Amino acid sequence: MKLETLAIHAGKHIDAETGAVTQPIHMSTTFERAEDGSYPLGYSYGRGNNPTRAALERRLAALEGGAAAAAFSSGTAAISAILQTLAPGDHMIAPRDIYYGVIRTLREVFTPWGLQVTFIDMTDEAALKAALRPQTKLVWVETPSNPLMRITPIARVAEIAHAAGALCVCDNTFATPVLQNPLRHGADGVMHSTTKFMNGHTDIIGGAVIARENGEFFQKVKKVQTNVGAIPSPFDCWLLMRGIATLPLRMKAHGENAMRVASYLAAHPKVEAVHYPGLRDHPGHDIAAEQMSGFGGMASVQVKGGRDEAFRAVARLRVFTRATSLGGVESLIEHRASVEGPGSTTPENLLRMSIGLENADDLIDDLKQALE
């Protein structure tokens, strides 16, 4: 079935007891055992499994074309679960331009725990090859990347990782399965902050890991999900399923709006640079056009005049909201370097935009008056 159909139907079934068309929210934390001590319906305790979460996980796996999925209470919990499949002494390679929280989690939690990490420009194949070690077990990809919107060729990186005996996992938060399926390009796993476009309404924090095979890697992730316990609530799973039903339509509209906004800004005299892979002069445009079916709703802009001018422009915006995060129906804008804090390499004049579903004319008018 096609993606639009899967987004609505995959994972759920008509409730046998009531005929309810919408997936029920099962709040029960525990499930009755049979007289012989078994669990005939497959559920025993809510941390291990829950029918609403199971429905969501089936939908996530179907959308990414994976064999299995595990839902988490945040994107960061999903990232941590993947890192916890590794052992102290293992080595991983991560992109330098990446969601800053990953760098922080690696530096503050997993490096002290014994994981070795090398940060590189993941768009540079020679740098990737040079960073490989016998202990390299994981190559992390984030494409498009946060906040510079760099594009990494997933198939090529997965091939290099596999040749070195490592797995390749891709953070697909910006693209979503509507625009990009990393598993189909050879990645072994996909990670999402479902907080963002997947849910789309700025009202849950969630994460997910989807694996190409239900093998050793996924079984380790599943063990972390149960034994570390960062699971989403049944209500959040239900909200996310509802959000996903409209994901294909939303991503189309986010992409159309972002293209218009990015094109407008690219021609503006007060703009130094626009980072949006849909623009023909973006360095990753051709690869993005090959591995994505659209360019998404995220764009960054560097304004002339440095940090002060960036803050001045943002302060004048009326339709865009000054806030972190992304992927909701409302357009958000943020000064990324100050959110990332000390150690950030993001340019001081860069503003990251999550382009929402408002009318693009209103977004452009808002930017126009703010930049004047």
* 291 lies in the binding site for ligand PLP (CB under 6 A): no
Residue with token string 């890192």:
83
Instruction: Please state the closest distance from residue 21 (CB atom) to ligand PLP, in A.
Output: 29
Selection from 158, 150, 173 nearest residue 79 by Cα: 173
Are the CB atoms for 292 and 277 separated by under 8 Å?
yes
Between residue 139 and residue 158, which ones bind ligand PLP under the rule CB under 6 A?
142, 146
C-alpha separations of 207 from 57, 123, 197, 274, 302 in Å? 11, 25, 12, 29, 30
* 99 lies in the binding site for ligand PLP (CB under 6 A): yes
Q: What angle do CA 169, 172, 175 make, to 5 degrees?
A: 150
Active site residue 276: no
* 24 lies in the binding site for ligand PLP (CB under 6 A): no
Question: Alpha helices, DSSP H only, in the chain?
Answer: 3-9, 51-64, 75-83, 100-105, 111-113, 125-131, 154-163, 176-179, 216-228, 234-245, 247-266, 285-291, 306-316, 336-340, 360-371
Task: State the number of binding residues for ligand PLP (CB under 6 A).
Answer: 14
* 225 lies in the binding site for ligand PLP (CB under 6 A): no
Are the CB atoms for 251 and 297 separated by under 8 Å?
yes
Q: Which residue is nearest to ligand PLP (CB)?
A: 75
Active site residue 99: yes
Please pick, among 59, 90, 97, 99, the residue that the annotation labels catalytic: 99
Nearer to ligand PLP, 174 or 276 (CB): 174
* 207 lies in the binding site for ligand PLP (CB under 6 A): yes
Write the interaction track for ligand PLP spanning residues 163-182; mark x where CB under 6 A is met and - where it is not: --------x-xx--------
Instruction: Please state the closest distance from residue 152 (CB atom) to ligand PLP, in A.
Output: 13
Instruction: Please state the closest distance from residue 299 (CB atom) to ligand PLP, in A.
Output: 14
**Rounded CA separation 219/161 (Å):** 20
Please pick, among 12, 53, 90, 171, the residue that the annotation labels catalytic: 171
Instruction: Please state the closest distance from residue 208 (CB atom) to ligand PLP, in A.
Output: 10
**Rounded CA separation 261/83 (Å):** 36
Q: Are strands 207-211 and 271-275 parallel, antiparallel or unpaired?
A: unpaired
Active site residue 171: yes
Among 52, 84, 85, 193, binds ligand PLP (CB under 6 A): 193
Among 50, 52, 74, 346, binds ligand PLP (CB under 6 A): 74
Among 11, 46, 51, 75, binds ligand PLP (CB under 6 A): 75
Active site residue 47: yes
Nearer to ligand PLP, 132 or 172 (CB): 172
**Rounded CA separation 351/16 (Å):** 50
Q: Who's near 286: CB < 8 A, 6+ residues apart? A: none
Among 8, 101, 120, 266, binds ligand PLP (CB under 6 A): 101
With 0-12 / 13-18 / 19 or more C-beta atoms within 10 angstroms meaning exposed / middle / buried, residue 114 is exposed
Q: Which residue type, as a one-letter code, is found at position 350? A: L
Binding site for ligand PLP (CB under 6 A): 74-76, 99, 101, 142, 146, 171, 173-174, 193, 195, 205, 207
> Which residues are known catalytic residues?
47, 99, 171, 196
